[in-house]
A and B are shown apart, each in its own frame.
Chain A
Amino acid sequence: MTDLRLEGLTYRYPAGSVMALREVDLAIGSGQRVAIIGQNGSGKSTLVRHLNGLLRPTSGRVRHDGEDVAHRTVAQLARSVGLVFQDPERQIFSGSVAAEVEFGPRNLGLRGAALQDAVSEALARVGLEAARRTNPYDLGQSGRKLLTLASVLAMRTPVLVLDEPTTGQDRRGTEIVRRVVATASAEGRTVIAISHDMEFVASTFDRVVVLGEGRVVLDGTPAEVFAEGAWEMLRATNLEPPLPALIGARLGVGATPTIEALVGALRA
């Protein structure tokens, strides 16, 4: 169980004048499923890198369960928050799929059967059981992304953070990611994902946080964030509501964020 809280979080990258985050206040309760959306360069990746200490606030605070984590190391924070990068090339370094997935839990102290259990379970969840001995670079881009997801899943952290997990995934890969999120959520883990795929966001998460120029500009359920009243704000940050929301509004049944919701509303 980890309650995450960002208080007045401001971050300026060291070499530049760019203010990536400006006084962000955000509380994410244990077990929530939260999507973070926003235009390119709005601060999404910068924000999540504060959750496990890869970046440290220029000002403001990051709290885990109420405790300011400024003095906790990344290694300590990694026990609570597992972060899957957007770019798998930044994450993979082992010579086989199994070795890659073992690395995290081994560092947490798992050995023997417990370690093998963690690895097998993670590989099964992303559909890579048969690829244990494969060199990660023989997997293809989408397979490598699923591998990095497995390597973080194997650490069984209470919080799972995914940076654009569906990028480059085909139908099956996107479905696997959706299932991974649902399973982790059913286990009581917090899942936070950055995405540009509005349909994935609307159908998989129960809370959507919209960032614009380093600030939280919208925060609510998919139905709230994609409601007609919010479109102006969404479009001001270069985002578009998902197609079912546009069609629902056009048909006068409200901005239904998913195909399922739209069909349900039309049937009623």
Chain B
Amino acid sequence: MLALEHVSYRYAGAPRPSLHEIDVALADGEVLGVVGASGAGKTTLCLVASGLAPRTVGGSLSGRLLLDAGDVAGWPIHRLAGTVAIAFANPATQLSGVTGTVYEEVAFGPMNLGLPRDEIIERCASALEQLAIADLADRHPARLSGGQQQLVALAGMLAMRPRHLVLDEPTAQLDPAGTALVAAALSRLVAGGASILLTEHKTDLLARLCSRVAVLDGGRVAFEGPAVVVLSDPRLAELGVTPPAADRLRQAASEADLAAATLQRVDEALAG
């Protein structure tokens, strides 16, 4: 369970809050997608939901972050890090910068948890395999492509085996195959009971992965509901969000004055 209770947050030195009275609750095994225009507060929400803000980012928070029903306010950082993991939008921010190979990079988190050697090896092998990057294990993280770095950063996060996840545009730089691998890895975690909060501009991906979607606007939740309902809501475009391709296609077809039979076939093709 991951929940934000009446959360408002202001960055240090900022004239006004970036988040206003956010209430979201994710049950175990639930994926909440978060969409919104640039500047709506998606990344800030990720920082708060992972406990990094205000703890390491500074600023001031009111309201509570609850993980498995416990208020994290008094938790030591290692307990927090073992319970919820965050993936930043920019893998360059995520990578430790102190390791010489992809393997060491993925092992970095588990090593810092002080896990036994055999378990670290097993976790690394599993994370690298899930994202199909075992062949990169000996490469230097800084000498990979942007998309490869994103997969390495995510593998490092998977190796932490966090109970819950917060992901800020985890597939921004990935090709469709990489995106599918990440989606599959997340589905496995969800099946294991993880709560996942996921921001994305790729609404097509959210349509596949999320049970619910929340739309942020100006630091507030404008509306929230089942993914299928929210992602086809006409207000989405007004709030700066590109609806999924299937919805836009259906919309364009319905506005194009096509024969009813043709529209029917479009619907069938989209469903099939």
Contact = CB atoms under 8 A, between A and B. Distances in A.
Chain B, interface size category, equals 35 or more
Contacts, number: 127
A104 to B, nearest CB: 22
A266 B176 contact: no
B125 interface: no
Given A89-B90, A170-B201, A239 B175 contact: yes
Contacts of A13: 143
A108 interface: no
Contact of B249 (A86, A167, A169, A243): A243
Nearest to A241: B176
Interface residues of A, number: 44
> For A90, A171, A240, A243, which residue has the most chain B Cβ atoms within 10 angstroms?
A171
B256 A266 contact: yes
Interface stretch (B36-44, B52-60, B225-233): B36-44
A86 B43 CA distance: 19
B175 A263 contact: no
A140 B43 contact: yes
Contacts of B172: 167-168
A267 B256 contact: yes
Contacts of B173: 40, 86, 164, 167, 196
Contact of B201 (A16, A168, A242, A247): A168
Contacts of B144: 41
Nearest to A87: B92
A267 B38 contact: no
Given A40-B147, A86-B173, A168-B172, 7 more contacts: A40-B146, A40-B173, A167-B172, A243-B204, A259-B245, A266-B266, A267-B256
8 tightest A-B contacts by CB?
Answer: A40-B147, A238-B177, A142-B38, A243-B245, A250-B269, A240-B176, A39-B175, A171-B242
